[in-house]
Amino acid sequence: MSKPIFILNGPNLNLLGTREPEIYGHTSLADLKAMCEARAAKRGHELFFEQSNSEEQIIDWVHEAINGADGLIINPAAFTHTSVAILDALMNVTCPIIELHISNPHKREPFRHHSYTTFAAQGLIAGLGVNGYIHAVDAIADMLAAD
């Protein structure tokens, strides 16, 4: 029996659609969730889609993914650059992991150029706006189909 694809979103992504729309666009988190659910369903998968401003909550969801997910897409947001704890949790996940960013962190402030979470990911999607999520769902679905 297949397990869901987890999509985990970090701090401030609850403000999508209103937060710095010149960087993040006008799509709300609810709209993004609906887009991802539609794409996953088209590819034959269910989603577990969540957002938290709490590092602890994200770690707990990563722990759930260890045995409960077929794939994991994570946009750790600002935790990308600070959280060894999220990296340590991700290192225990055996399903495919894609790190995702709406903007391109390498075109932004220098402190955003380093990612801890990349060390655990099979792939990285950045700078494609919210459409990056659709590409990430497709990439995970393709990886699962190849197994």
Active site residue 113: no
Q: Note if 24 is an active site residue.
A: yes
Q: In percent, how much of the chain has pLDDT > 70?
A: 93
CB 75 within 8 A of CB 33: no
75: β partners: 9
Per the structure, the complete domain to which residue 141 belongs is given by 5-146
pLDDT at 103: 84
How many angstroms separate the CA atoms of 83 and 74, rounded?
Answer: 13
Q: Is the pLDDT of residue 37 over 70?
A: yes
Q: Across residues 7-25, what is the average pLDDT? A: 86
Q: pLDDT tens for residues 50-69? A: 999 999 999 999 999 999 99
In this prediction, residue 21 carries a pLDDT of 75
- Stretch 67-83: mean pLDDT, rounded? 93
pTM: 0.93
Of 45, 101, 116, 133, which one is the catalytic site residue? Answer: 101
The tally of domains found in the chain comes to 1
Helix, strand and coil content of the chain, in percent to the nearest 5, comes to 50, 15, 35
Residue 29 has pLDDT above 60, yes or no: yes
CATH number of the CATH domain containing 127: 3.40.50.9100
CA distance 75 to 116: 12
Residue 5's contacts (CB-CB under 8 Å, 6 or more residues apart) are 40, 45, 46, 47, 48, 69, 70, 71, 72, 73, 137, 140, 141
- pLDDT more than 90, % of the chain: 76
* pLDDT tens by residue, 88-133: 999 999 999 999 999 877 766 665 656 879 999 999 999 999 999 9
Q: Residue 97 CA to chain centroid, in angstroms? A: 8
pLDDT of residue 23: 72
* Given the residues 24, 45, 116, 133, the one annotated as active site: 24
